[in-house]
Amino acid sequence: MEKIDLATSSLRALNERLQQQSKVTNEKQWEVINPRGAHAIAVGLNAPLELLIKGSTGYYCAGMNQHAQITVQGSVGPGVCENMMSGSVFIEGDASQYAGATGHGGLLTIKGNAASRCGISMKGINIVVHGNIGHMSAFMGQSGNLVVLGDAGDALGDSLYEARLFIRGKVSSLGADCIEKEMRSEHIEILQDLLTKSGTDADTADFRRYGSARKLYNFDIDNAGDY
């Protein structure tokens, strides 16, 4: 295992080594200590490596991740996993704003709470939050799944497209064009798979599904007040 200490090594050097992993070394397991809230740790990875970050990070941790499996033993700042493409990221603490924003694929698991705009403009990513999420989460969510074991803040799913939202707790309010929808067998299968992969034995029967009412896809003067 390669062990990098950010107290003595630069962030630039760390990211360069991780990004070139598949070209310059066959080392698959990496450990980062003393992250001390540094920003943009482990961005742009594109190899099936395993990375353990022992401590909390700043903004944009694991951005644009592809293939890598990343665990953060702490909390993360804004924009964790922004534009994530594949792989898996597990956050043992809390996440700040817009976790998983614009993500295209992969699985982001947050053991604690996530702040506002979790999953904003999600494009295929799967996000599982064991705690609560803040307001405007899944705003303009296009595809993928957002699973929340706790409560959701105001304006959930505002201007939603085809992303699926599974909420176990209370929803403060629904955003424009977001409605509660039937939980069919295919949705239960999707939900159960994500619960299992994210390490929880929660019961699928306790969740409700929310999605788009599909009234804002095209401009309609009768719905002008909702845009």
The yes-or-no verdict on residue 192 having pLDDT over 60 is: yes
Give the pLDDT band of residue 227 (cuts 50, 70, 90): low
Fold of 2-216: Pectate Lyase C-like (2.160.20)
pLDDT in tens, 97-107: 999 999 999 99
Please identify which residue in the block is written with the tokens 């003393």.
34
- Residue 24 is predicted with a pLDDT of 56
- Residue 225 is predicted with a pLDDT of 66
Residue ranges covered by each domain of the chain: 2-216
Q: Over pLDDT 90: what percentage of the chain? A: 89
Q: What is the DSSP letter of 223?
A: G
- Residue 134 is predicted with a pLDDT of 98
Other Cβ atoms less than 10 A from the Cβ of 39: the count is: 15
Mean pLDDT throughout 63-70?
Answer: 96
Identify which has the larger pLDDT, 160 or 218: 160
Contacts by 4-9, CB closer than 8 A, 24 or more apart: 4/30, 4/31, 4/32, 4/33, 5/32, 5/33, 5/34, 6/32, 6/33, 6/34, 6/35, 6/36, 6/38, 7/33, 7/34, 7/36
pLDDT in tens, 113-138: 999 999 999 999 999 999 999 999 99
Q: Over pLDDT 70: what percentage of the chain? A: 93
- Residue 215 is predicted with a pLDDT of 87
Among 12-26, 37-51, 60-74, which stretch is predicted with the lowest mean pLDDT?
12-26
Cα–Cα distance, 15 to 21 (Å, whole number)? 10
- Residue 80 is predicted with a pLDDT of 98
Please list, in sequence order, all residues whose beta carbon lies within 8 angstroms of the beta carbon of residue 159, skipping any fewer than 6 positions away: 139, 140, 175, 176, 177, 216
pLDDT in tens, 104-117: 999 999 999 999 99
Beta-sheet strands, E only, within the chain: 2-5, 29-33, 50-54, 69-72, 88-91, 107-110, 123-129, 143-148, 164-167, 178-181, 208-212
- Residue 70 is predicted with a pLDDT of 98
pLDDT in tens, 16-40: 999 887 555 567 899 999 999 999 9
